[in-house]
Amino acid sequence: MQRFWGRLPLQAAASLFYFIKGGRAQQLIHQLKYNHKPAVGIQLGQSYGNRLKNSALFQHLDCIVPVPLHPKKQHQRGYNQSETFAQGLSTSMGIPCYAHALERGNFTQTQTRKGRLDRMKNVMEAFTLRDGKALQGKHVLLVDDVITTGATLEACGMQLLGVKDLTLSVATIGFASG
């Protein structure tokens, strides 16, 4: 939550792991993103969903929205790692995943070696809302693989918060010091 104070009004925020270079979370996310292991995302989502659904902060969610990949990146990878995590969460929490609620229009450079300001510039206008009516009045869980500076989640969250009466929460696999 602190990462978003003054930037994005959230109901709740949580991460499954603290992301440390060379640690287990990095190894799992590397398998998920770069070694064509989408099952890792689904399994992590199912496991974490079982924990989140027992948390008072996450019991009143209506749907899950994953951070989208640009179609070119998704074609290269074969899947969206955030969507696999969202699918696992959806299964274990019993709430729908709206995988196409957001769209990534700009093909942006990787964020892995960028600082906070460069990350924000990189994604500021990269996302658009596709179907806001389906999200009206809902408590949405926005999910991504890793949060570092929060720039990607903030850019997506700002698009979602344009929807009438939407409440926003965030969950990620990993949380890295920014």
Q: 131-163: string of b/e by CB count within 10 Å (b at 16+)? A: eeeebeebbbbbbbbbbbbbbbbbbbbebbeeb
Q: How far apart are CA 38 and CA 142, in angstroms?
A: 19
DSSP run (H or E) holding 171: strand 167-176
Q: How far apart are CA 16 and CA 33, in angstroms?
A: 17
Which carries the bigger pLDDT value, residue 24 or residue 49? 49
Domain count, the chain: 1
Q: What is the pLDDT of residues 46-73, one digit of tens each?
A: 999 999 999 999 989 999 999 999 999 9
CATH code assigned at 119? 3.40.50.2020
Angle of helix 151-160 relative to helix 116-123, nearest 10 degrees? 40
pLDDT confidence tier of residue 99, bands split at 50, 70 and 90: very high
- Quote the pLDDT of residue 58: 96
- Identify the three-state secondary structure at position 173: strand
Domain with 72 in it: 2-176
- Quote the pLDDT of residue 138: 98
* Average pLDDT over every residue of 143-160: 93
